[in-house]
Amino acid sequence: MTLGKEIDGKAFAAGLRGRIADIVPGFVAQKGRKPGLAVVLVGEDPASSVYVRSKGKATVEVGMESLEFKRPAMISQEELIELVEELNADDSVDGILVQLPLPKHLDDAAVIATIDPAKDVDGFHVVNAGKLAVGDPTALVPCTPLGCLMLLKDELGDLSGKEAVVIGRSNIVGKPMAQLLLGESCTVTIAHSRTHDIASVVHRADIVVAAVGRPEMVKGSWIKPGATVIDVGINRVPAEEEGKTKIVGDVATAEAINHVAAITPVPGGVGPMTIAVLLRNTLVAAHVRAGLPVPE
């Protein structure tokens, strides 16, 4: 049996960052300033700190301004909302990202709701979620699902009429992913923890997007031969070597590779796309706010 292809998200993301870096100087020439991305980090969570550092580095590498706002875990809801309001009012800030999850005493939804939707480069504000739902092209779309869609279109071209199954219904991945696929005229099914006989639901799909958070849950035998699979999952599990860990996705790739036409590896598939799309969303927000035509 021939093995399916691995989709190289790392290379695609590098290409996207390169295209963004080519566009930034034109913005700077017209507006006399760089597009600016403000990232707010509350507390010392190690994983969040790593994400924020990588975002800052990638922002600077494409020629944009990275502004980091680190606040102690003890910050009050009022103080955090005040910070977001200051960033809303700051004209040099085009994108605002509040790194989630926030410490327990803070209300994620209330903080996100405070972000100016025009600067909501994570696409989590209800205004942007609503725009995506009604097919408004000015929506800022959550980075991970938009990155998945870019990889799918690059791999398959026109998605119209394809059967797509999205596993997971979170507001940050599953639901926006389903909306995006519907926007491409796929026939979309959303599976979740209450779905009966998920194996046969997945088996009818030409496109499978797994966003569950359960290591290698999707078995090779679930996949229709020739399907394209996007594995969003990032799960840390014990490695073969004693005391070490490794990252695996939501799909049992070693089995699935015998069934699929193409699949994203973990790591190196969807992961690198998320930050690249964040930069793309910041570039788009900067152009829209400046009244400039949105770059392709």
Tell me whether residue 75 is annotated as binding. Answer: no
Catalytic residue among 34, 94, 119, 122: 122
Active site residue 77: no
Q: C-beta of 234: minimal distance to ligand NDP in Å?
A: 4
Q: How many Cβ atoms from other residues are within 10 Å of residue 266's Cβ? A: 24
Tell me whether residue 66 is annotated as binding. Answer: no
Could you give the 3-state DSSP secondary structure of residue 169?
coil
Q: How far apart are CA 207 and CA 226, in angstroms?
A: 9
Q: C-beta of 216: minimal distance to ligand NDP in Å?
A: 11
Can you list the alpha helix ranges (DSSP code H) found in 157-217? 174-183, 198-203
Alpha-carbon 191 to chain mean position: 19
The residue (of 56 and 213) whose beta carbon lies closer to ligand NDP is: 213
Residue facing ligand NDP at closest CB distance: 170
Q: C-beta of 150: minimal distance to ligand NDP in Å?
A: 13
CA distances from 93 to 64, 80, 124 (A): 11, 17, 18
Residues in contact with ligand NDP by CB under 6 A are 144, 167-170, 172-174, 191-195, 198, 211-214, 232-235, 270-271, 274
The residue (of 170 and 258) whose beta carbon lies closer to ligand NDP is: 170
Tell me whether residue 234 is annotated as binding. Answer: yes
Active site residue 5: no
User: What would you measure as the largest C-alpha separation in the chain, in angstroms?
Assistant: 59
The residue (of 118 and 218) whose beta carbon lies closer to ligand NDP is: 218
Asked whether 71 and 77 are in contact (CB, 8 A), the reply is: no
The residue (of 95 and 271) whose beta carbon lies closer to ligand NDP is: 271
Active site residue 99: yes
Burial 200-211 (b: 16+ CB within 10 A, else e): ebbbebbbbbbb
Specify binding-site residues.
168-170, 234
Catalytic residues: 55, 99, 122
Specify binding-site residues for NADP(+).
168-170, 234
